Amino acid sequence: LPIPNLTLSDGKTIPQLGFGVFLVEPDEAERVVSEALEVGYRHIDTARVYKNEEGVGRAIAKSGIPREELFITTKLWNSDQGADTTPAALDASLERLGLDYVDLYLIHWPAPKYGKHVETWQAMVELRETGKARSVGVSNFLEKHLDDIAAVSDVSPVVNQIELHPAFQQRALRAHQEQWGIRTESWGPLGQGKYELAELPGLTDIAASHGKSVQQVAIRWHLQEGLIVFPKTTQRERMVENAAVFDFELSADEMATIAAADRDQRVGSHPDTTD
């Protein structure tokens, strides 16, 4: 697949289009990820809390794809936050994945209930030094959480992975992150199927004019916005469909139409109340 790489602030590169496995059942993960790798995806986004790291790891092992051609992300679960517990949590994830390192390790949520996101960030930076996580970042951080870590650490997260889709474009948070060169990863890039992309003004017409689905238009929009995106599906034909987004381009007018479709509609959990 002609998937571009983006450069992160630590100098590493990341495939801009990947494959997410949230809600992929543990006993289905190996099949799903094996098919995604066959289709040509090389960037897989999992998490401790998805309970499918073992299946992801088996698919990686069976694929025979050289490790350096893959980009694997996993995430620290909230109850594992803390200076003392973070290193062991990564070791346990690596064990389940059957890997020596992950390409990217993320703090999954700020989890204010624990009040540990700052010390956890410092532990993440130390993990990067060990090489067990090549890059480190955060997820679901609001402006204030990014400010908290910037106040104590001169290492910035390479990414913030946040809910982002055409109805929830997160322009303010994205602008705030830019001061530290933090790239944005879009989770729920298709709105998690919780609303119809087709109901947004202009989407259906744009899709028809390119002979593409509204999902393909949405994925193309993420790419042209400079976002990192990893839609999820368990169906092989949709894996192919979601990657067939490099043979058309949205015009400036079409990008503006989609920008205007933002309705500040969060469909997932709020970072202040997720722990």
Residue placing its CB nearer to ligand NAD in the complex, 16 or 213 = 213
Please report whether residue 191 would count as binding ligand NAD according to CB under 6 A: yes
Please report whether residue 184 would count as binding ligand NAD according to CB under 6 A: no
Q: Which stretch binds ligand NAD (CB under 6 A): 5-13, 151-159, 173-181, 182-190?
A: 182-190
At a CB cut-off of 8 Å and minimum separation 6, what does 256 contact?
A: none
Q: Which of 72, 66, 44, 56 is nearest to 133 (CA)?
A: 72
Q: Which stretch binds ligand NAD (CB under 6 A): 61-69, 118-126, 203-211, 224-232?
A: 224-232
Q: What string of DSSP letters covers 174-185?
A: HHHHHTTTPEEE
Please report whether residue 110 would count as binding ligand NAD according to CB under 6 A: no
Phi, psi of 117 (to 5 degrees): -70, -25
| Residue that the structure tokens 């402006």 belong to | 143
Q: For residues 213 and 237, give the distance between their C-alpha atoms in angstroms, rounded to a whole number.
A: 13
State the minimum distance, in angstroms, from the CB of residue 49 to ligand NAD. 9
Contact with ligand NAD (CB under 6 A) among 14, 15, 17, 20 = 20
State the minimum distance, in angstroms, from the CB of residue 99 to ligand NAD. 17
At a CB cut-off of 8 Å and minimum separation 6, what does 153 contact?
A: 121, 122, 125
Contact with ligand NAD (CB under 6 A) among 167, 189, 200, 254 = 189
Please report whether residue 45 would count as binding ligand NAD according to CB under 6 A: yes
State the minimum distance, in angstroms, from the CB of residue 48 to ligand NAD. 11
The runs of H, that is alpha helices, within the chain are 26-39, 53-63, 86-97, 117-130, 143-150, 171-178, 203-210, 214-224, 236-243, 252-259
Contact with ligand NAD (CB under 6 A) among 170, 227, 230, 250 = 230
Please report whether residue 193 would count as binding ligand NAD according to CB under 6 A: yes
Q: How many Cα neighbours within 13 Å face the side chain of 64?
A: 1
Please report whether residue 140 would count as binding ligand NAD according to CB under 6 A: yes
CB 97 within 8 A of CB 128: no
Q: Which stretch binds ligand NAD (CB under 6 A): 35-43, 78-86, 130-138, 190-198?
A: 190-198
Q: What string of DSSP letters covers 212-251?
A: --HHHHHHHHHHHTT-EE----S-HHHHHHHH--SS----
Please report whether residue 26 would count as binding ligand NAD according to CB under 6 A: no
Please report whether residue 81 would count as binding ligand NAD according to CB under 6 A: no
| 108 is annotated as contributing to ligand binding | yes
Active site residue 101: no
Binding footprint of ligand NAD on the chain (CB under 6 A): 20-22, 45, 108, 139-140, 161, 187-193, 213, 215, 230-233, 238, 241-242
